[in-house]
Structure 1
Amino acid sequence: MEKKRLYRTEGNCKMICGVCGGLAEYFDIDPTLVRVAWVIAAFLGSVGFWAYLICAIIMPKKSDVYPGC
């Protein structure tokens, strides 16, 4: 069994940087729920904004984690 890896989604699945889509695939949940939670967190003291920005910078793209996909 292959180990799950955290990555940013690419293509049609991403909205801004693909962070929420990647998190949703990792935890096997609907990406809309992750996006709504992140927006709520962004309005609560801007922690969500900074967390998203950091994740967008440090998380690799899906093509970097799984070449050929």
Structure 2
Amino acid sequence: MAKDKKLTKSNDRVLSGVLGGVSEYFDLDASLVRLIFAAATIFTGFFPFVFIYIVAVVIMPDSPNTHQYKYRFDEDAEEKRRDVTPDEDDQI
């Protein structure tokens, strides 16, 4: 049986989205995962968990839900800033 879920960085991010991605993968609360990670990091002397976190930042792919476009505005509009961000349907 193939898994549908993949371990990716989350859009619910504090630093890089690694712990948010882990919490989404295991269907846990993100605050709980962050609290456990912080406690484990402090009690083990920082090195192993900080090293694992840095490796995960480099290795884990971004979430496919990450939007490619930032909000852009039409600067030529008179007195109103008109949103000209393309919709998701307009992406090629």
Same fold (TM over 0.5): yes
SS in 1 for 2:22: helix
Tell me how far 1:63 sits from its aligned partner: 2.2
Larger RCO, structures 1/2 (Cα 8 Å, 6+ apart): 1
Moved >4 Å (runs of 4+) = none
Q: Distance in 1 between matches of 2:17 and 2:38?
A: 14
Greater strand content: 2
Tell me how far 1:38 sits from its aligned partner: 0.9
Q: Distance in 2 between matches of 1:56 and 1:41?
A: 18
> Where do residues 35-50 of structure 1 align in structure 2 (5 Å cutoff)?
35-43=34-42, 44-46=44-46, 47-50=48-51
Aligned counterpart, 1:51: 52
Gaps of 5+ in 1: none
Aligned counterpart, 2:24: 25
Q: Which has the larger Rg?
A: 2
Tell me how far 1:3 sits from its aligned partner: 1.4
Q: CA RMSD in A?
A: 2.0
SS in 2 for 1:62: coil
- State TM-score, norm by structure 1: 0.79
In the comparison of the two structures, how many residue pairs are matched?
Answer: 63
Greater helix content: 1
Q: Distance in 2 between matches of 1:2 and 1:40?
A: 30
What is the percent sequence identity of the aligned residues?
32
- State TM-score, norm by structure 2: 0.61
Q: Distance in 1 between matches of 2:39 and 2:49?
A: 8
